[in-house]
Amino acid sequence: MTVKCIIDEDKLDKLASLAVNTGLSIKTNQDLLITSPVEALPLVRRIALHAYKAGANLVIPIFSDSELTLTRYGYAPNSSFDKAPDWLYKGMAEAFNNNTARLAIVGDDPMLLESQDPDKIGRSNKAVSKASKPARESITSFNINWNIIAWPGRSWAARVFPSLPIDEAQNQLAEAIFLASRVNTSNPGEAWAQHNADLLKRSSWLTQQNFDYLHFTGPGTDLKVGLANNHAWMGGASKCQNGIICNPNIPSEEVFTTPHRLKVDGTVSSTKPLSHQGTLIDEIKVTFKEGKIIEAKAAKGEEVLKKVLDADEGARRLGEVALVPDSSPISQSNILFFNTLFDENAACHIALGQCYSKCFKGGNDLSKKQIQQFGGNSSMIHIDWMIGSKAINIDGLHSADLPTPIFRNGEWAN
């Protein structure tokens, strides 16, 4: 099949190589499972090439197609939306248990489902979350090396650059992805090594401080985020339980850790829209009490937000808090990507739902029960949303001490 590709082939190849060799650090005889929109076939083909060159055993792509998704919403019986292909997710979990690496390519229209019934969307998301729980836990627990990168999908590009002709919009989005992913450099692998060193410096300092609370203040935000006992800050490269060091997100500008699921109090406002599985949720404002969201509003997509919060017991509590300076290249690009992989790297953010067991001292060896005792949250969802901006200050607090400035006006305080 010949696929017309109007995107810079050289940079696309660098992105593929970066995903395989830095993102995944794939090892000889590892299998690789790729999930991808069918539109990203030219990128998948290059990834497979680099993976096999690096010694991968089998590269198995699982493709999705936006039009098939819309056909389902338009014509499938109502009961369909409580179903998910359990056998496929179970199989993926089995693959991960056998040390298969995982690469996810994002690139669909972020507003694909905007005119669909929120009840169907909510039920479908819940069914998928439930079916994919074991596979997702292999990823969130870093049992295996994994990576997410982006393909500049045409419908996505049209959302980001609505005033441009579609070919030009796709090219602009491609260039923005290349820039954010650091493949516009002569040696992307080296650029990532330096970037990882910078993120490690920040995360090590924060882990060492061992703050009890972070205090976020800004317009519409006065939020105390208690941190889990024995929490550790992470960022950039991550050592997986299979011994491989991977860079799970490309791009990535964040350092992040686990909040205490019972110790979050106050009010917080989102600073960017959240694109959640095809629906845009904007101007979120929620109030936490003892870790739990007791009030939630959104100017747009409130119904979907409320369904997300009702997904399970842990969906109203935090599983992640992340710090990103306003000077991050993605923030500076002033592009709103409507995609979490990018937008979360333009601003500080929090995530509802499942925590990363990795974000504890000795995380790899902790049981689920220990993680819960330390305050880690558990849920079948993990949804990031942005609360950072130029107007946000953050202080770190120990119970009895004076605040330590961490961020001032959206930047690292030192």
- Contact set with a second copy (CB under 8 A): 1-2, 28-29, 31, 37-39, 41, 44-45, 48-49, 52-53, 55-63, 65-68, 71-72, 74-77, 79-80, 83-85, 87-88, 90-92, 94-95, 98, 153-155
Nearer to a second copy, 166 or 197 (CB): 166
Q: Which is nearer to a second copy, 87 or 186 (CB)?
A: 87
Token digits of residue 222: 């006065």
Cis peptide before 273 (omega within 30 of 0): no
Nearer to a second copy, 44 or 176 (CB): 44
**Reduced 3-state DSSP string for 266-307:** EEEECCCCEEECCEEEEEEEEEEECCEEEEEEEEECHHHHHH
Largest CA distance in the chain: 66
32 forms bridges with which residues in the sheet?
59, 101
- CB 255 → a second copy: shortest distance, Å? 34
Query: Closer to a second copy at the Cβ: 79 or 414?
Result: 79
Phi-psi region of 86 (alpha: psi -120 to 50; beta: other; left: phi over 0): alpha
Of the CA atoms within 13 Å of residue 393, those in its CB half-sphere come to 8
264 strand-pairing partners: 225
279: which strand partners?
276
Cα 168 to Cα 162: distance, rounded to the nearest angstrom: 10
Nearer to a second copy, 80 or 210 (CB): 80
Instruction: State whether residue 316 is helix, strand or coil.
Output: helix
Instruction: Compare residues 28 and 399 and give the one whose CB is closer to a second copy.
Output: 28
Residue 155 beta carbon to a second copy: minimum distance, rounded to whole angstroms: 8
Output the smallest distance, CB 339 to a second copy, in A. Answer: 17
- CA dihedral 318→126→153→236, nearest 10 degrees, is 30
Comparing CA positions, the residue from 338, 313, 320 lying closest to residue 383 is: 320
Which of 79, 76, 19 lies closest to 47, judged by CA? 19
Nearer to a second copy, 57 or 277 (CB): 57
Shortest distance in whole angstroms from residue 40 CB to a second copy = 9
Min dist. Cβ of residue 315 to a second copy (A): 24
| Coil, helix or strand at residue 145 | coil
Minimal distance in Å, beta carbon 36 to a second copy? 10
Least distance from a second copy to the Cβ atom of residue 131, Å: 11
How many CA atoms, within 13 angstroms, populate the side-chain half-sphere of residue 309?
A: 20
Match 């390519």 to its residue by tokens: 105
Nearer to a second copy, 96 or 385 (CB): 96
Give me the least distance between CB of 165 and a second copy, in Å please.
14
Q: How far is the CB of 99 from a second copy (least distance, A)?
A: 12
Choice between 41 and 336, CB closer to a second copy: 41
Overall size of the chain counted in residues: 414
